[in-house]
Amino acid sequence: MTRTQKIRDMVVTPNFLTISRIAAIPVIVVLLMYENRITTFIAALLFSLASITDYLDGYLARTRGLISTLGKILDPLADKLLVGSCLIMLTQLGFIQGWITCIIVGREIAVTGLRCVLVENRQDVAASWLGKYKTGFQIAAIIPLTLHYSYFGINFNAIGQIMLYGALIFTLWSGLDYFFKAKKFLI
C-alpha cells in the first residue's frame, strides 16, 4: 500500500465523514443567519453534501468492515444535529411553522432516549425502513425549504412544504412504530 493510499484510507473513514457532517452544521447555521438568495443556496448545497455523507459513511463502514461503537453512536447523533439545526433555523426564518419543528425534533429526542433503553436491554436499534423513509423525506424537505426562493421558475418553497408534510407523516409513523415495538421494555 502506498503512502497516498494510506492517507486516503485514514481520511475517508466512516467516522471522519460523520464528524465532517457535524462540522458543517455551524457553517450552515451562519449562512442561514444572513439569509439571502446566495447564502441560502450555499447552505442548501452544503446541507446536501452533508446528507450524502450519511449514506457514504454507512456504506464504507459496512463494505470495509469499519463498523465501530463510536460510529454507531455518532452517526445517528450527527443526523439529528444536522436535521434539527436546519429545521430550527428554517423556523426562525419563518420558512417552517414552529409546531412542525417541535414534533420532528421532539420525536428525534424521544426515539434517541428509547434507543438508549433498547441498547441497555441488548436489543437491535438499527433504523427501520420507516426511519429511512423519514430521513429521506426530511432531507427532501429541508433542501428546497433552504433554497426557499424561486430559481429558474421553480417554486422551491412549495416543493419543500409538500415534502415537509411527507416528512411529518413518516416522522410520526416511525416514532410510533419504534415505541410500539419496544413497549415491553418500557413497562
- Rounded to whole angstroms, the Cα distance separating 79 from 43 reads 16
Answer for the pair 50, 24: CB distance below 8 angstroms, yes or no.
yes
DSSP state of 127: P
pTM for the full predicted model = 0.86
Q: How far is CA 81 from the centre of its chain?
A: 7
Give residue-wise pLDDT tens across range 6-28. 555 555 688 888 899 999 999 99
Could you tell me the CA-to-CA distances from 130 to 133, 135, 167, 176, 177 in Å, in that order?
5, 9, 11, 10, 8
Range of the domain at 133: 3-185
Number of domains in the chain: 1
**Confidence class of residue 1 from pLDDT cuts 50, 70 and 90?**
low
Give residue-wise pLDDT tens across range 93-116. 999 999 999 999 999 999 888 887
Q: Please report, rounded to a whole number, the percentage of residues in the chain having pLDDT higher than 70.
A: 91
Could you tell me the CA-to-CA distances from 115 to 73, 94, 149, 169 in Å, in that order?
10, 32, 38, 21
- Rounded to whole angstroms, the Cα distance separating 5 from 184 reads 48
Give residue-wise pLDDT tens across range 138-166. 999 999 999 988 878 888 999 999 999 99
What is the grid cell recorded at 41?
Answer: 443556496
Could you tell me the CA-to-CA distances from 113 to 17, 139, 144, 179 in Å, in that order?
24, 22, 30, 11
Indicate which CATH number applies to the domain containing 11: 1.20.120.1760
